[in-house]
Amino acid sequence: MQPMRTICDRYSIVPGRGVCAFDPGTLMIGSMVATAAGGALSASSTLAGGKSAEEAGAAQKAGAYSTAAQIEQNATQAFASGQRKALDTGMKTRLAISTSRARAGASGVDPGFGSPAENEGELAQRGSYHALMDLFNGESEATGLRNQAENVRFSGDLAEIEGQQKRKASKLAALGTLAGTAGSMFSTYGKLKYPTGAKV
């Protein structure tokens, strides 16, 4: 049979050192302080999250604008490339016409009449068509790239707006948290001031 233990033994209380005993009022005040601290911490973390979202949106916009600038540069190069191809095509066309005239002259035929003239006309027409196609392709590619750059900028603007909206929402959420915390504290205070069964 085990010996009976005293309350001091059971709870490891050292005589003479004192025992802390909390009354319900002290516990409720502690609860209110903990509720306030928890609410403030929750609200501040909500605000920090909103600020973070706003900063991320601004960074995304900056990145989008940087990308758009590079795409715009590519558009300028595409347009210039189309012009360069058109100039090359024009030069090749003139060389082909010159070669055709030289061959016709070397064979004793007048290059200004008959079949040689028709050949030159067809060469000039075909060369002009290809040069215009080179210009069109370069301009078309440049336009496509400029549209892409505009879309990238637009998505960056949207990201920034979304970040700003999240920050505003976080402020409202933080206010809601603080209001809920205040309500909880007043509820606890009411229980402390007017315990169950007390007459008001």
How far apart CA 30 and CA 32 sit, in angstroms, is 5
- Please give the full DSSP string across 170-194, using - where no structure is assigned: HHHHHHHHHHHHHHHHHHHHHHHHS
Q: What is the pLDDT of residue 17?
A: 57
Q: What is the pLDDT of residue 78?
A: 92
Q: What is the pLDDT of residue 179?
A: 82
CB 50 within 8 A of CB 170: yes
| Residue ranges in the chain modelled with pLDDT below 70 | 1-31, 109-114, 116-117, 188-200
22 exposure class (CB count in 10 Å sphere: 0-12, 13-18, 19+): exposed
This prediction's pTM: 0.57
Beta strands in 15-114 (DSSP E): none
CB atoms within 10 A of CB 95: 12
Task: Report CA-CA distances (Å) from 194 to 34, 77, 121, 134, 186.
Answer: 21, 80, 108, 89, 11
Q: Where are the domains of the chain?
A: 56-170
Q: What is the pLDDT of residue 119?
A: 74
Scanning the structure block, which residue is given the tokens 């059971």?
Answer: 10
Q: What is the pLDDT of residue 200?
A: 47
Scanning the structure block, which residue is given the tokens 């070669």?
Answer: 99
Q: What is the pLDDT of residue 107?
A: 74
